[in-house]
Structure 1
Amino acid sequence: MTELRIILFLIGVAVLGAIYYFGTRKKVDIEDELDFSEGEEDIVSVRPNDLPRKKSGLTVDEAHQAHEAENVQTQKDKIVTLFLHARDGQQFDWHLIQSAAEQVGLEFGQDNLYYRFKGFGNNKELIFMVANMLKPGIFQPDMRTTGLVLIMTLPGIMPALDMWDTMFPVGERIAEILGGKLTDENHHIFSRQRIASMREEMREFDHKHSIQ
């Protein structure tokens, strides 16, 4: 359970990082807060405590321990993100997001984020999560957003390549349903070469961790 909480904490940190990255085209000040862009006009700030922690159930002490574990594991952990952008001048409607999520088998958590698990009931294990690209990263009824972000943390419950082969098709399918554009962490559209390079990156990660 503690290991799962640490993983969920790290993913929460990844959400902040992904949202922050999306806003780096604008001037940012991260001394006290992380800033990111909501659309193309407004700067909205989000603090670490703004993201929900309800699902992880972390106490202050546990969060501190998870943070320490994160520092120790920095060299080993890898965060893989996919961005799903709405077409220029458009937004994704909450009801369409909800429908798309149900179609691809995502579960809506009590913290208002979507999750893909392996297994059922008490045996569920996290594969990846989906967050709102805009502050505060969660999904709310009747909201609209310019994008989503899919996030997985490696090493995970399966080989990295298997996790990628689970998350990427889901991203593609959601993009198809919503009429959006799926990109990598650098906001580049996926070409065949890029997909192949990502799969090779996952293989290399698996190989590296299999011999450690």
Structure 2
Amino acid sequence: MSNLQITLSIVGVLLIIAIVAHGLWTMRKNNQQVDQQKQRVAEQRQQSSQPESFDDDDIGEVRVVKRAAQEKTDNADAEVEQMSMNLDLDNDDNTPLPSMRVDKDDEESLQQAELELSEEKEPEPQTQQDTDSESAPAKQEKPGQPINSDKPLPPKQQVISLFVKGSVQGSVLLQMMTELGCKFGDMGIFHRYEQTSGNGPMIFSVANMFNPGTFDLDNIENFETEGVALFMALPLDYDGQQAFNMMLNAAKKLAMEIPQGQVLDGNRQLLSRQSIQQAHQTIREYEKAYT
């Protein structure tokens, strides 16, 4: 057991020595790379500060380094000096470098700086024509689209209804519809127009309270139902309050002509003064919102 412990101790010591040696080798390699980079940058600066040399034909060398590239060189020098200071501080503290991946990244950043120094060019000034061509699509508008976004939305249809409950005979119904100025027409029901002749806007309609909701005018004498529905649909090309009053009067007159006739509100409850006021309030709020 003691031999195994001694063996493990020796292996551990050797492993520690290998790690320390690898760290020292890595630090020395990094210092060499930084020194080489500083030397290359110094040579480039020295060459740029020397006067132009001329050949036998008194023609100077072509210089392609521009102000932006020189500024980039100064920035690269500052970065290299800062990196060197950081490495020196690290060496003084006797701390190992993080890993080879960081070293590779530093080397790639230095290579990228060299490429930028040799290949970077000043951006060409943008002409007025290019500016106009870029801003032109933003100014163009698609044809056929409305420009005014404040256009009000179409009003939502609102139906105000009343019901007349009772035994309604076909002959009585036809007589009352004629007296009230209602005309038999579309959808197989009666309609009340502004004029009794059937001209003008539609004010309200009268339908069967039960399915199918229509009237058989050809067999009206034998027709019988337990109630009819009167309704008006907003918006109207007519005064809403006046239209409701006309429909209410028609419902009351019809209820008086049938046995046990009753007028019900839109909820099929017995019509009251409160329900009448509520109907007027609904019409008033609707016209205020959409007119």
TM-score class, shorter: 0.5 to 0.7
Is the 2:193–2:199 contact (alpha carbons within 8 Å) kept by the matching residues of 1?
A: no
**Counterpart selection for 1:106 from 167, 170, 182:** 182
Q: For residues 132 and 120 of structure 1, do their structure 2 counterparts lie closer, same or farther at Cα, with a shift above 3 Å needed?
A: closer
**What CA distance in whole angstroms lies between the structure 2 residues aligned with 1:138 and 1:178?**
19
Kindly tell me the number of residue pairs found equivalent between the two proteins: 134
Over the aligned positions, Cα root-mean-square deviation in angstroms equals 2.1
Q: Which amino acid aligns with 1:206?
A: E
Q: Post-superposition shift, 1:122?
A: 7.8
Matched, 1:203 2:284: yes
Q: Give me the identity figure in percent.
A: 25
Q: Post-superposition shift, 1:112?
A: 3.2
Is the 1:161–1:206 contact (alpha carbons within 8 Å) kept by the matching residues of 2?
A: no
**What CA distance in whole angstroms lies between the structure 1 residues aligned with 2:206 and 2:244?**
14
Is the 2:262–2:270 contact (alpha carbons within 8 Å) kept by the matching residues of 1?
A: yes
Q: Name the residue aligned to 1:93.
A: 169
**What CA distance in whole angstroms lies between the structure 2 residues aligned with 1:123 and 1:187?**
31
Deviations 1:165-196 (A, max 9, x none): 22111111111122411111211111112212
Is the 1:159–1:206 contact (alpha carbons within 8 Å) kept by the matching residues of 2?
A: no
Q: Post-superposition shift, 1:110?
A: 6.2
Q: Name the residue aligned to 2:161.
A: 81
TM-score (norm 2): 0.43
Is the 2:263–2:270 contact (alpha carbons within 8 Å) kept by the matching residues of 1?
A: yes
Aligned-partner SS, 1:146? strand
**What CA distance in whole angstroms lies between the structure 2 residues aligned with 1:105 and 1:136?**
24
Q: Name the residue aligned to 1:14.
A: none
Q: Post-superposition shift, 1:125?
A: 1.9
Bigger relative contact order, structure 1 or 2, given CA contacts below 8 A and separation 6+? 1
Deviates more, 1:148-157 or 1:158-167: 158-167
Q: Post-superposition shift, 1:116?
A: 0.1
Superposed, 1:109-148 pairs within 5 Å as: 109=185, 111-119=187-195, 123-140=199-216, 141=220, 142-148=222-228
Superposed, 1:32-71 pairs within 5 Å as: none
Q: Which amino acid aligns with 2:175?
A: S
**What CA distance in whole angstroms lies between the structure 2 residues aligned with 1:151 and 1:173?**
15
Aligned-partner SS, 1:131? strand
| Larger of the two Rg values belongs to structure | 2
Q: Post-superposition shift, 1:208?
A: 1.5
TM-score (norm 1): 0.57
**What CA distance in whole angstroms lies between the structure 1 residues aligned with 2:273 and 2:197?**
37
Structure with a larger share of its residues in strand: 1
Q: Post-superposition shift, 1:121?
A: 6.0
Q: Name the residue aligned to 2:102.
A: none
Deviations 1:128-183 (A, max 9, x none): 11011122211122111011011111001113212212211111111112241111
Q: Post-superposition shift, 1:124?
A: 2.8
**What CA distance in whole angstroms lies between the structure 1 residues aligned with 2:288 and 2:206?**
27
Is the 1:104–1:174 contact (alpha carbons within 8 Å) kept by the matching residues of 2?
A: no
Structure with a larger share of its residues in helix: 2
Q: Name the residue aligned to 2:253.
A: 173
Gaps of 5+ in 2: 1-152
Aligned-partner SS, 1:84? strand
Q: Name the residue aligned to 1:193.
A: 274
